[in-house]
Homo-oligomer: A and B are copies of this chain.
């Protein structure tokens, strides 16, 4: 273990304590799509989530048991994740401030619920990125239940692909969530290459 001298410590920035908080930077804006028992499509926003396995590719989303989506998930065990661009920021935000219990969120916003190809769940057709997922596990974690979904399919708008056929973040303009300020941001231009920028530290 490296010893830290007082001089070294003085070089490191002073930090402010925010205590025990559910925050991290660059949180996602995942719009979770499900059908209810009558087949009504619903969509809610989940910022609590992320990829959790490479093989099989899987993604975790955390939902409170009080949510309409929770009931739909427990019943159907499938969901989509549609990821909004800046263009649909207001619609995505609306999906997060109302409940499917008493609102048809698609009808109100005029967005199109499109049934997924492989599962019985609706995606938001206008959003540029869609994942189709089947629940493989669900785990109670404190206030939320974490649904782990195997990703069966990823679809991205053709107009959002670069010349190399890969999705282009500069075109996608996807939104992220800052939990500290309850604000949305999008991505900057590329600032570096992964698995490459750090090579300068490898032994010559």
- Tell me if B50 and A60 are in contact (CB < 8 A): yes
Residues from chain B with a CB closer than 8 A to the CB of A172 are: 25
Q: A41-62 CB contact bits vs B (8 Å, 1 = yes)?
A: 1000001111111111111101
C-alpha spacing A98/B158, complex, angstroms: 36
Q: Which 8 pairs of residues, A with B, have the shortest CB-CB distance?
A: A50-B50, A94-B198, A93-B198, A12-B125, A53-B142, A22-B57, A1-B39, A15-B155
Q: List 23 A-B contacts (CB under 8 A).
A: A4-B112, A9-B125, A12-B112, A14-B159, A17-B153, A22-B58, A23-B154, A24-B59, A25-B129, A25-B174, A48-B54, A60-B146, A86-B192, A89-B192, A89-B197, A97-B202, A98-B201, A176-B176, A182-B194, A182-B195, A183-B193, A185-B187, A188-B188
Task: Please tell me if the beta carbons of B186 and A12 are within 8 angstroms of each other in the complex.
Answer: no
Are the CB atoms of A157 and B15 closer together than 8 Å?
Answer: yes
User: Which B residues are in CB contact (< 8 Å) with A60?
Assistant: 50, 52, 60, 141, 146
Out of B50, B53, B158, B202, name the residue touching A13 (CB < 8 Å): B158
List B contacts of A108 (CB < 8 A): 201
A78 interface residue per 8 A CB criterion: no
Q: 1/0 per residue A2-42: CB within 8 Å of B?
A: 10100011011111111111111111101000010011110
